[in-house]
Structure 1
């Protein structure tokens, strides 16, 4: 076969059973052919090498009888989950990111873009992720892109995060105002 296929556990079990049957027939003289591995490969449509690997996996699992094969000794290939270590920032780096975004317009007199933010963050905290990683970090930390009046996009905090941040500042202000009036 030209392309490599990953066999699932059920397919491996069937191939192992076919091999054992072919071997049994070869030993008992039912068939003139004595090479059970080759006959199994011909019957199931896989190479002898694949059949050998399946039988090796079966031997390593310790299953030699047909009753042991029913106990799921073969494992199906599983999908790998990609975890990007660059997409996790500690609290200090996150505060630098927030402060940079909040003061970007004042410091540089222009709107923040992902490319510019990445460049500044690589200088400040040594951020070495790509632009898509930065986009993911911003989305997860509560920022979103909002259209401005001149149809450009501006990076802002999500509304619910603004309310919680402003709410605490507003409470502090009212508490200060009350205590000032009492004096």
Structure 2
């Protein structure tokens, strides 16, 4: 079986080796850097193993995994003042922010549906490890949590495909990284796909 891949050169995909690694903080910094230059769309992807399954983090969880009614759901974040990751992306200046909740087996189709909502000239800043299996982004940055040596299963599956592995020492200083993104994605030009 051949894996289908979406080629999305206008996407910066941010993955992480562990929870609380700084993905959202990095995404916020990237959005703030480019929001005046491009339309920027923020995306968070939650991949769910199976319908009505337990929380991937253990315990009762937040209900996202158990409440998925179809193969995927796309919701738009409208609240800039909340404390969710999607709210922070919107508050940082993204034009729109979407949350894709998707069964692992339908990641390609879920992302395809999401892509139809995004203008072709937008810079997409997306948080996900699993999405790398079905998307070839313009740049894939893996955030390595220097305070937690674990390697999430989803990170282990895609870390070898990272264009940049960023060791986060939690200084919230992403200037050097963003300059590297600028060069590698040639963001002085049009970002259309």
- Could you state the TM-score of these two structures normalised by the residue count of structure 1? 0.23
* Greater RCO, 1 or 2 (C-alpha within 8 Å, sep 6+): 2
- Could you state the TM-score of these two structures normalised by the residue count of structure 2? 0.22
If each structure's strand is expressed as a fraction of its own residues, which one has the higher value?
Answer: 2
Larger Rg: 1
